[in-house]
């Protein structure tokens, strides 16, 4: 009996944009990538699995360190090569020779690029009203952190933003304004985001909503699938 198992890993990366800014400086954006590690084979007669997930994770760990919280263009083979299929080919080549149980990786964007607003229902568990959600893609760094902290390095995320306001019919307009302001940007260059934490991004979104005449109820910033910030003003 042959089986296939998958372990999913996410990496948060920055990438250089192909066209420079008007002043000639390099422009950056960011992406979260989903990487599925695949193993195939028969079930081990004693342990009952194809391979230990720990072994699958350990095989990928050196590659993860090269990608996660890094800039893709610092890897020579990925300079100006940021599409999932290009990253996938590089990973599969880098992991050669493969263990007998390994079947390669599949890489995709964690979230599809572009402006795709969608409605979310209320979340009573977290005291969140109905919201409008959208995603933008940006680079950032946290220079205030110690040298050894991974977030001090240039990296990036696919940020999910959720906004709610009393003026519900205005949300899509504000979402588009925010998307145009933040998407494919180096956030540290934005006023007030020199330290571009999720908390500061949430506060900046709230301020923008106020400036546009809305009465915000909440702002949610999700920078990774497991990290979220809920902001209620103040």
Instruction: With a cut of 80, say whether residue 23 has pLDDT above it.
Output: no
Contact indicator for 36, 92 with CB cutoff of 8 Å: no
Which of 83, 109, 135 corresponds to the end of one domain?
109
Q: Which residue has the higher pLDDT, 130 or 19?
A: 130
Which of 109, 134, 169 corresponds to the end of one domain?
109
Give the per-residue pLDDT at 198. Answer: 95
Instruction: With a cut of 80, say whether residue 21 has pLDDT above it.
Output: no
Judgement on whether residues 101 and 7 belong to the same structural domain of the protein: yes
Judgement on whether residues 217 and 129 belong to the same structural domain of the protein: yes
Give the per-residue pLDDT at 33. Answer: 96
* d(C-alpha 77, C-alpha 160), whole Å: 29
Instruction: Look over the chain and give the mean of its residue pLDDT values, rounded to a whole number.
Output: 93
CATH code of residue 72: 3.30.479.10
Judgement on whether residues 122 and 95 belong to the same structural domain of the protein: no
Alpha carbon separation from 145 to 29, 111, 142, 148, 234 (Å, rounded): 21, 28, 6, 8, 25
* d(C-alpha 178, C-alpha 196), whole Å: 15
Give the per-residue pLDDT at 1. Answer: 57
Instruction: With a cut of 60, say whether residue 98 has pLDDT above it.
Output: yes
Judgement on whether residues 128 and 192 belong to the same structural domain of the protein: yes
Give the per-residue pLDDT at 191. Answer: 87
Judgement on whether residues 14 and 98 belong to the same structural domain of the protein: yes
Instruction: Categorise residue 128: left if φ over 0, alpha if ψ from -120 to 50, beta otherwise.
Output: beta
Q: What is the pLDDT of residues 195-231, one digit of tens each?
A: 999 999 999 999 999 999 999 999 999 998 889 999 9
* Angle CA 132–158–164, to nearest 5: 15
Judgement on whether residues 27 and 96 belong to the same structural domain of the protein: yes
- Say what percent of the chain tops pLDDT 70: 100
Contact indicator for 44, 29 with CB cutoff of 8 Å: no
Which of 76, 109, 142 corresponds to the end of one domain?
109
Structure pTM? 0.90
Judgement on whether residues 80 and 155 belong to the same structural domain of the protein: no
Strand partners, 123: 128
The secondary element (H helix, E strand) that includes residue 171 is helix 171-182
What is the DSSP-derived secondary structure letter of residue 75?
S
Alpha helices, H only, 28-103: 53-67, 84-94
**Structural domains in the chain (count):** 2
Give the per-residue pLDDT at 192. Answer: 87
Judgement on whether residues 166 and 83 belong to the same structural domain of the protein: no
Q: Which residue has the higher pLDDT, 43 or 203?
A: 203
Expressed as residue numbers, the domain containing 134 is 118-231
């Amino acid at each position: 009996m042959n089986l296939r198992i998958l372990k999913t890993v996410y990496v948060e990366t920055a990438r250089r944009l192909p066209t420079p800014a008007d002043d000639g400086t390099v422009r950056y954006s960011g992406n979260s990538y989903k990487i599925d590690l695949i193993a195939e084979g028969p079930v081990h007669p004693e342990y009952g699995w194809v391979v230990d997930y720990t072994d699958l994770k350990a095989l990928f760990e050196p590659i993860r360190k090269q990608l996660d919280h890094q800039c893709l263009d610092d890897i020579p083979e990925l300079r100006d090569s940021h599409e999932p299929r290009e990253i996938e080919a590089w990973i599969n080549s880098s992991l050669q020779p493969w263990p007998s149980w390994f079947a390669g990786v599949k890489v995709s964007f964690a979230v599809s690029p572009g402006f795709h607003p969608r409605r979310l229902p209320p979340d009573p568990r977290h005291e969140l009203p109905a919201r409008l959600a959208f995603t933008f893609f940006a680079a950032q760094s946290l220079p205030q952190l110690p040298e050894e902290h991974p977030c001090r390095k240039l990296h990036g995320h696919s940020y999910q933003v959720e906004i709610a306001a009393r003026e519900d019919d205005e949300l899509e307009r504000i979402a588009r304004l925010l998307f145009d302001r933040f998407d494919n940007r180096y956030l540290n260059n934005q006023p007030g985001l020199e330290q571009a934490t999720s908390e500061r991004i949430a506060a900046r979104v709230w301020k923008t909503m106020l400036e546009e005449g809305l009465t915000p109820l909440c702002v949610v910033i999700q920078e990774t699938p497991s990290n979220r910030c809920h902001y209620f003003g103040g």
